[in-house]
Copies of this chain bind each other. A is one copy, B any other.
Amino acid sequence: MKASDSIKVHLGQRVKLLRLQVGLSQEAFADRCGLDRTYISGIERGVRNPTLEVLYIIATGLSIDLPTLFAFDHSV
């Protein structure tokens, strides 16, 4: 897997884990973030390449900061 694909997959898994930990459905989380549910789904499946602004919105929606959002092993 290319490094650029791997980071998207790892981040998607991280977002899903954190979302489930706070007990939010994709729908509820998308509403909280003001993003489309299918976009959240795409991020969690690792097929989207979100921008810094979207990453910040997601972290804010999870009530965490960006270092915490990225606190996962992403060595390829």
Return chain B residues, CB-CB under 8 Å to A55: 52, 55
Q: How many copies does the complex hold?
A: 2
Give the residues from 48 to 76 in chain A that come closer than 8 angstroms, CB to CB, to chain B.
Answer: 49-53, 55-57, 60, 65-71, 74
Please give, as numbers and ranges, the residues of chain B lying within 8 Å of A67 by CB-CB distance: 66-68, 70-71
Chain A 2-37 interface mask (CB, 8 Å, partner B; 1/0):
011001100100000000000000000000000000
Q: Which of A3, A11, A65, A68 has the most CB of B within 10 A?
A: A65
Shortest A33–chain B CB gap in Å is 12
By Cβ-Cβ distance, the 8 closest A-B pairs, closest first, are: A66-B70, A67-B67, A4-B53, A7-B56, A49-B51, A67-B70, A51-B51, A49-B53
